[in-house]
Amino acid sequence: MALMPVDEALMRILDGAAPGGEPEMLPLADSFERVLARDLPALRTHPPFEASAMDGYAVRAAEAVAGATLKLQGESAAGHGFDGSLEAGAAIRIFTGAPVPDGADAVVIQEMTERLDDGTVRLNEAAILGRHIRRAGVDFEEGKIGLAAGRLLDAGAITFAAAMNHAALPVERRPIVAVLATGDELRLPGQSLGPGQIIASNTFGVAALARGAGADVVDLGIAADRMEALDEALDTAIAHEADVLVTIGGASVGDHDLVQKAMIARGMTLDFWKIAMRPGKPLMSGRLGGMHVIGLPGNPASSLVCAHLFLEPLVTRLAGRPDPDRMQKAILASDLPENDQRQDYLRGELATGADGGLVATPMARQDSSLMKVFSDARCLIVRPPFAPPAKAGSVCDVLVLRR
């Protein structure tokens, strides 16, 4: 099977991916960072009445000229409005958010007034018609759509939904991602290692990335290199109604690489399993019924690069979240040689240059087994297939991992 270009592989993985199932109704307090499933109309008008935008005095603009002295008729506070109408030649003390009394059409701020001992107030500036008054419905009106479907519910959206009087919100269901490590050599963090054994670290990074993209994660643990162990793990993924099954390691076609064989034996339609990229060539993609199957390489850098490039966009699409926009332009800090037929993703450092732009420096060691290098990296420097040599100072594409 020929190596598939990265862009084509991503397009095929994302083909038809969309949120599934009925929306969930969640309490407002539990809806943060979920995706709104339906348009959300306002259940009330805000402000529901004309309200003062400042502390001061509510007056009739026509008679409230600079130097005028008005009798103090009463007070209007938030939650305790003035009961009655403003009389001619009078002013009403008013506070921010309080209802503007009938008859008043302007507010003079308190800093531009003077309270006199005889119970009157002197205006040191003229009132302007409508000034410092928030009109009813100026923010939003009952029945109008306030938040559109697809909105990621951040702090501002949550506040707005609450103001519209919604106690619960319809949100897209989180996709379920089942993660399975494979290999006789693997042990969990904290366990003792025997000869030839290593810690299964990739699972935790891949699971964290999936959660960050909006998924609920099912940890299937470690499956030994036996068909029955893989079958048991697959049964568990199906029982959890996983939208995506991610396997780590064993997806190639070596004597001990059984994942692909096990998945096909259970009815998986294999789409592809070789990509023209480095690191991460042996990436498997297929479908088993309604479940997406992604087989990541076992080497840590290969696994995480592929997870960023393919798993994160897939989970994001299934969760209904906006596509992550991680690609940026940067200036190379050092020369790079010409590239071969595979798209290269070099782990790199990222800094801000004197002009405010990004500067990318390839790390000296690029071996796909090196975990510290990936942890230290702030970006992946993208080198297209057959790219000519690149000089320091030239522009390159980077996938930003962290800033």
Token pair of 137, please?
Answer: 């419905």
> Are 317 and 332 a contacting pair, CB within 8 Å?
no
- pLDDT at position 234 is 96
Specify the DSSP class assigned to residue 111.
Answer: G
Both 184 and 91 in one domain: the answer is no
What domain range is 154 assigned to? 24-44+139-171
**Both tokens of residue 29?**
């307090």
Q: Are residues 361 and 292 in the same domain?
A: no
The set of residues, in sequence order, having a beta carbon less than 8 Å from that of 3 and lying 6+ positions away, is 274, 275, 276, 281, 341, 342
Instruction: For residue 361, give both structure tokens.
Output: 């420096």
Q: Are residues 166 and 287 in the same domain?
A: no
Q: Is 251 exposed, middle or buried (0-12, 13-18, 19+ CB in 10 A)?
A: buried
Write down which residue in 298, 319, 340 finishes a domain.
Answer: 319
Give the chain's domain count: 4
> What are the DSSP calls for 184-215, one per residue?
TTEE-TTS---TT-EE--HHHHHHHHHHHTT-
- Say whether both 183 and 304 belong to one domain: yes
Q: Residue 1 falls within a domain, yes or no? A: no
Torsions phi, psi for 190 (to 5 deg): 95, -15
Structure tokens at 303: 């696994």
**pLDDT score recorded for residue 256:** 54
Question: How many C-beta atoms lie closer than 10 Å to residue 119's C-beta?
Answer: 9
Q: Judge if 309 and 359 occupy the same domain.
A: no
Question: Tell me, what CATH number does 106's domain have?
Answer: 2.170.190.11
pLDDT truncated to tens, each residue of the chain (403 aa)? 578 999 999 999 999 999 988 999 999 999 999 999 999 999 999 999 999 999 999 999 999 999 999 999 999 999 999 999 999 999 999 999 999 999 999 999 999 999 999 989 999 999 999 999 999 999 999 999 999 999 999 999 999 999 999 999 999 999 999 999 999 999 999 999 999 999 899 999 999 999 999 999 999 999 998 999 999 999 999 999 999 999 999 766 555 578 999 999 999 999 998 999 999 889 999 999 999 999 999 998 999 999 999 999 999 999 999 887 889 999 999 999 999 999 999 999 999 998 999 999 999 999 988 999 999 999 999 999 999 999 999 999 999 999 8
Could you tell me if 167 and 178 lie in one domain? no
Concatenating the DSSP letter of every residue in 128-160 gives -TTTTEEPTTSSB-TTSEEE-TT-B--HHHHHH
Same domain as 281, residue 213: yes
* Helix, strand counts (H, E) of the chain: 8, 26
In which element (H, E) is residue 232 found? helix 227-239
For the chain, the 3-state helix, strand and coil shares in percent, each to the nearest 5, are 20, 35, 45
What is the rounded distance in angstroms from the CA atom of residue 130 to the CA atom of residue 186?
72
Provide the 10 A C-beta neighbour count for residue 193.
11
- Phi (first) and psi of residue 147, to 5 degrees: -125, 130
Distances (CA, A) of 344 to 14, 279, 294, 403: 21, 7, 20, 21
Final residue before a domain boundary, out of 272, 296, 319: 319
Residue carrying the six token digits 């007070």? 75
Partners of residue 295 on adjacent β-strands: 247, 284
Residues 253 and 188 in one domain: yes
Token pair belonging to 41: 């109309």
CATH code where residue 247 lies? 3.40.980.10
Same domain (yes/no): 239, 356: no
pLDDT of residue 126: 96
Q: What is the pLDDT of residue 403?
A: 81
- The span from the CA of 246 to the CA of 296, in Å, is 7
Closest CA to 281 of 309, 262, 256, 255: 309
> Do 222 and 299 belong to one domain?
yes
Residues 247 and 302 in one domain: yes
Looking at the fold, whether 258 and 280 belong to one and the same domain comes out as yes
pLDDT at 294 (0 to 100): 97
> Does residue 252 form part of some domain?
yes
Q: Are strands 24-27 and 168-171 parallel, antiparallel or unpaired?
A: antiparallel
198 token code pair: 């290593």
Two structure tokens written together for 98: 């309080």
**Residue 354 located in a structural domain:** yes
CATH number at residue 153: 3.90.105.10
Is residue 387 assigned to a domain? yes
Residue 3 CB-half CA count within 13 A: 14
